[in-house]
Amino acid sequence: MKQPKVSIIVPVYNVEKYLDRCMQSLLGQTLKELEIILVDDGSPDNSPALCDNYESASDNLHWPIIKVIHKINEGLGFARNSGLEIATGEYIAFLDSDDFVDVNMYEQLYLKAKAKDIDVVYCNCNIYKDKKHIYPRKDVEEEVVFRGREVVDDFLLDMIAPLPEYHHDVRYMISVWHAIYRHSIFMEHRVQFVSEREFVSEDIIFDIDFLSHVRSVCYLPDCLHYYVVNPYSLSHTYDDAKYHKMVNLSRIIKERLAKIYSEEKYYLHYLRSVFFLLRNTVMRMVLAGETDQKIKRILEEKLYQELLSNYPYQRMDLKHRIVFFLLKYKCILLLKMLFKSVKS
């Protein structure tokens, strides 16, 4: 059998309600030469049996190839690593099992990668709440190619966080599930995922490790991935344990960037990511009803004092300058009024 064109690694945990929707979107792909790797991460529901059923049903099919891994529960990042160990495709893709994709997503990404000799191809995505509420998210409005190490470096830094003048905190979505990656780069540089249990977001660290080795990236304007929003999300709650993992993430981001770039090149991007963390942390604390004293203690931490002392916030747009000023001078009452008005 020929080498698969794309290996799609799908971690599976407690998703029996959503797995079939995800799998039907993969089984119907217009690109047929696919390898689908279902990684059962010790799921306690009926998902492991469903995975085995998909594998058994694929025995009579030429394409796609379906493989199943059953392993102890270690989290999303390590589940993806297990899939990487057996993947054989020319390109690698990652898909969360509660999401799904357009039927021609992988054909579009693969054909673009081959036509222009691209190491990583991204597409835009849709934010999916339900069938009646689907919202396209467009990081690019037209096809963009980043070629050469210097240009890819700039793309990576903008993905972590943009420069002060940019009007949003995020310029390019940091997620691995809307892209395909050249497999040979994984093999040559042994790129793997860290555990999200330690750093909250394994995707950011992966992007730094992987993109630091590539020479070409393409971003397509088509919204081909459907990111399913969890209606029970805890995005507006504050949790001490999760907060400390986010601080760990900022630390490891700085360490990784310092190995690749000069401080002059990466520092403002890094500080913008810290601003994003601080603003969202204080907002969650306000909405969770945390005390003024606890919020002030957060603002006095070394990580944020570095940000509040060194960042050229005067270069930001007005709305960001206001928030930065209130954080810098610990205007807790005004911060509470601001964040509660935004939530309402």
Could you tell me if residue 183 is inside a domain? yes
Query: Last residue of a domain, which of 228, 249, 276?
Result: 228
Q: Which two tokens stand for residue 63?
A: 């394409």
Please state the domain count of the chain. 2
Could you tell me if residue 112 is inside a domain? yes
Q: Which two tokens stand for residue 35?
A: 């390898």
Q: Domain of residue 260: give its range.
A: 240-343
- Residue for token digits 């689908």? 36
| 263 shares a domain with 203 | no
The whole-angstrom separation of Cα 318 and Cα 17 is 44
The whole-angstrom separation of Cα 85 and Cα 125 is 27
Q: For the chain, state the CA radius of gyration.
A: 21
For the range 187-193, what are the long-range contacts, defined as Cβ-Cβ under 8 Å and sequence gap of 24 or more?
Answer: 188/213, 189/213, 192/81, 192/84, 193/76, 193/77, 193/78, 193/80, 193/81
Candidates 28, 32, 38; CA nearest to 1 is 32
| 91 shares a domain with 205 | yes
Could you tell me if residue 105 is inside a domain? yes
The whole-angstrom separation of Cα 68 and Cα 50 is 10
What's the one-letter identity of residue 167?
H
Candidates 197, 200, 31, 13; CA nearest to 102 is 31
pTM: 0.93
Query: Last residue of a domain, which of 228, 261, 288?
Result: 228
Could you tell me if residue 244 is inside a domain? yes
Could you tell me if residue 235 is inside a domain? no
| 261 shares a domain with 196 | no
CATH of the domain at 194: 3.90.550.10
| 128 shares a domain with 47 | yes
- Which residues are CB-neighbours of 36 under 8 A, at least 6 positions away? 7, 8, 10, 23, 26, 54, 64, 65, 66, 67
The tens-digit pLDDT sequence of the chain (344 residues) is: 689 999 999 999 999 999 999 999 999 999 999 999 999 999 999 999 999 999 998 866 688 999 999 999 999 999 999 999 999 999 999 999 999 999 999 999 999 999 999 999 999 999 999 999 999 999 999 999 999 999 999 999 999 999 999 999 999 999 999 999 999 999 999 999 998 888 778 899 999 999 999 999 999 999 999 999 876 544 457 888 889 989 999 999 999 999 999 999 999 999 999 999 999 999 999 999 999 999 999 999 999 999 999 999 999 999 999 999 999 999 999 999 999 887 65
| 163 shares a domain with 28 | yes
The vertex-186 CA angle with 184 and 191, nearest 5°, equals 165
Candidates 250, 82, 53; CA nearest to 160 is 250
Could you tell me if residue 34 is inside a domain? yes
| 128 shares a domain with 79 | yes
Could you tell me if residue 27 is inside a domain? yes
Query: Last residue of a domain, which of 228, 248, 277?
Result: 228
- Residue for token digits 């088509």? 222
Helix/strand number for the chain, H first, E second = 14, 10
Pairing of strands 120-130, 144-147: unpaired
Could you tell me if residue 234 is inside a domain? no
| 307 shares a domain with 219 | no
| 78 shares a domain with 120 | yes
| 289 shares a domain with 161 | no
| 127 shares a domain with 193 | yes
| 285 shares a domain with 185 | no
| 215 shares a domain with 98 | yes
pLDDT score for 234: 44
Q: Which two tokens stand for residue 250?
A: 């900022």
- 272 in Cβ contact with 161 (< 8 Å): yes
